[in-house]
Every structure is written in structure tokens, then in C-alpha cells.
Amino acid sequence: MSNQQVEDALLKADRWSKVIALFFAMGMFGLATILTEDLHISAAIAAFSAVGVRIYVPYHVSVWGEDSDGLSSQSYELTGNYHHGAAGIALVVASFAALAVLVVGPSVHGALATGTTSAVYGALGVGISVGAVLFVLLRQILPS
């Protein structure tokens, strides 16, 4: 497989990641809306998780995708270096963590109606914290 074929495979994965992220966002939006009953918060959670999927898919293909000879695409010198898998995974996990805090905490719909936004700020804080810690850990663990 030539460098151009590998690059084309990575570009194809990049294009497919848009479709995968779109469907992931729709599923995440539906799940978050059912669990929180708030469209705005659900949209933010879905958007961040979809961005994470969009970032992770090309990374995954570039590191673990193989050609017909069993070589990773990273072994070809002219291919792009997608080394941001840690950020993608961290965004997805942080979105799920924020959603979990919103579900476990007080009713988001009631909290926003009364002007109490502590549940939202708590979920935001947990999401950022989990995402940051996971990013730092995965940055060291995942291959680049």
C-alpha cells in the first residue's frame, strides 16, 4: 500500500467520522433529553460528545488501522499524525459524567425554573474535572 493509499484511507475515515459523530450526537441528545428534560443542556452535552467522537475516529484509524500487509498507517512517513485521541475520549467521557451528575442531582427542569443553577454548575465542574484528568492520563497512555 502506498503512502497515497494510506492517506486516502485516513481521509475516508475523517469523512466517516462526521457521519458517526452526527448519529452519536442525535442519540446522545435523545438520551440526555429523556433523562434531564431540558433541551439546552441536552444540546450542549450532545455537542461536546459528538466533537469527541469526531476527534477520536481519525486517531483510532491512524493508530490501529492496518493495510493489507499488516502495517499501521503511522509507519508510512507521509501520512498525517492524528495524535489527539486523548482529547476525543476525554470529551465523550466528560459529557457522560456531566449527564450522570445531572441525572443523580436535583431535577434540572425544576432547578432552572426556580433560578437555582447549582445542579448545572456542579455538572459542568464534574465534566471539566473528569475530562481534564482523563485527558492527562490518556495523553501518557495512548500511542501517538
Give the pLDDT of residue 81: 53
Give the pLDDT of residue 72: 59
Q: For 54-68, 75-89, 124-138, which range has the lowest pLDDT when averaged over its residues?
A: 75-89
- Comparing CA positions, the residue from 62, 98, 63, 87 lying closest to residue 138 is 87
Residues 141, 93, 84, CA angle at the centre, nearest 5°?
45
Give the pLDDT of residue 105: 73
Judge contact between 108 and 41, C-beta under 8 A.
Answer: yes
- Residue 53, pLDDT above cutoff 90: yes
* pLDDT band, very low/low/confident/very high, at 83 (cuts 50, 70, 90): low
The pLDDT of 99-119, averaged and rounded, is 69
Indicate whether this model's pTM tops 0.85.
Answer: no
- φ, ψ (nearest 5 deg) of residue 72: -70, 150
CA distance 127 to 135: 12
- Residue 1, pLDDT above cutoff 60: no
Residue with the bigger pLDDT between 88 and 114: it is 88
The neighbour count for residue 107, using CB atoms within 10 Å, is 15
- Residue 17, pLDDT above cutoff 80: yes
Residue with the bigger pLDDT between 70 and 45: it is 45
Give the pLDDT of residue 34: 93
- Residue 78, pLDDT above cutoff 60: no
Mean pLDDT for all residues in the chain: 81
The grid coordinates listed for 48 are 461536546
Judge contact between 7 and 44, C-beta under 8 A.
Answer: no
